[in-house]
Structure 1
Amino acid sequence: MNDLYQYIREVELKRDEIEDFGIYPYNLKSVSSFYKLELHPKVTFIIGENGSGKSTLLEAIAVAFGFNPEGGTRNFNFSTETTHSSLHNHLRLVKGVVKPKDGFFLRAESFYNVSTDIDRMDRENPGPRLIDSYGGVSLHKMSHGESFMALMMNRFGTAGLYILDEPEAALSPKRQMAMLSRLHELVKGGSQFIISTHSPIIMSYPESVIYSVDDDYKKLEYEDTDHYQITKRFLNDTDSMLNILMDEV
């Protein structure tokens, strides 16, 4: 995808509008060190330690683009609790010359609420069932991992913008590899992904860029990430790593 045709080219924080970087969410590492991010036309990974604020940034990008803060497509407008920050008001999105034909914001923590709203809309609205776009079976009747794979296999389409917050929370390693295969199909069909993840399997996707919040959004090569190095060391020398960890207790 040419960068002029990618759906979001850059995200910039309008720092002059922030009155106090000492208060939430502006005191988070993901915000206080954020200036501008050039997104990859195919896949952009945002990585960092727990508590760095990756989810807050991803949520703000999604809301600034027009997605529901709790997730779903841009047509979802339910709200179980207003907990999203005001950060989206201070982001500038540089968009390409075309709009995505599809899109979805996945939040692992609120996907249950998305599933509930799909069921509610199908009960209340006559006509074609919304759930048929997700595989035809209520997502509540599947495991978390099964429902996410049903979403990705059935609801995600080509030429879409997909913002995924820690999708590995629902997926076994085998399913994470299946996700990579499906992600590649969608990328070849003109889709763009922005993904926050801890998974060394998912972030291995080659046609991507990896930004580390912990390193002030420095671009990292896959094999230079802590996720790759720590996992590799643990698997290659499990006994020694366990001895170190057990001795520290």
Structure 2
Amino acid sequence: MTAITYYFANTQNEMAKLRRTFAFWLTLISALVIPLLFFIVYAVKHAELAPAEGVNPWTKFMANQVENSIPFFVPMFIVLITSLIIQVEHKATGLKQLFVQPVPKWSVYFGKLSVVLVTIVFTYVVFLTAIIGLGYLLGILFSELQFVNYQPHYLKYVKMLSLSFVASLGIVGIQFWMSFRFKNFIIPITVGMCLVITGLIVSQAPESIYFPYAYNVLSLSLGDQQPLLLGLSKVTVFSCACFILTAGVGYWDISKRNIK
């Protein structure tokens, strides 16, 4: 088998294992909880929330959900899901069994990392799909809400969520390394949550551009006004650089350790 074949085989195995864990259900719950809450609120208060004549109801409906999710819930979800996915292997010496297999260590490490990234992308897709699907359902059930008479601004929110994903890459790299490094999953979760809260606090400071846990807030608050570097937003460049650095250093650290 070639190195690439090992990588894809490991990734497929990790995806199959994920479907049998709580991490998979956490992914679905996290993606659906906010759209369902908004669905309930709109269903109960449909008369009060009916838009004025000529106003697209999707603007408020989608903006409230996306903008309330990105700054805090997205980073917190990444902290939880990354720790839970790796915790599955920490149980019953799973990591040791993975690393003693006759396969390249890098294919194990980066196969796991790829699963984390795919899981996060899947959550974004389910989240946006649920918002749109439940919005149309509200429009069918309560005609005064006008959802079936207007079109959602698809591209605007796909762009916002895509920028949020890229802004999250730095957090993914850091949390993935910590989750591999510490067998007690409470450590990466506690550290990650503290850093997410810190990111919210420091996000107004100019120096927050150097703090990866503030990048989701910055991707939303700055929007198209983000400072540029090499023709790209600094948030994008710094987040990708942080991800590449921590993924590389994390693999080097893990490959040199004796996994017990």
Q: Give the TM-score normalised by the residue count of structure 1.
A: 0.26
Relative to its length, the structure with more strand (as a share) is 1
| Greater C-alpha radius of gyration | 2
Relative to its length, the structure with more helix (as a share) is 2
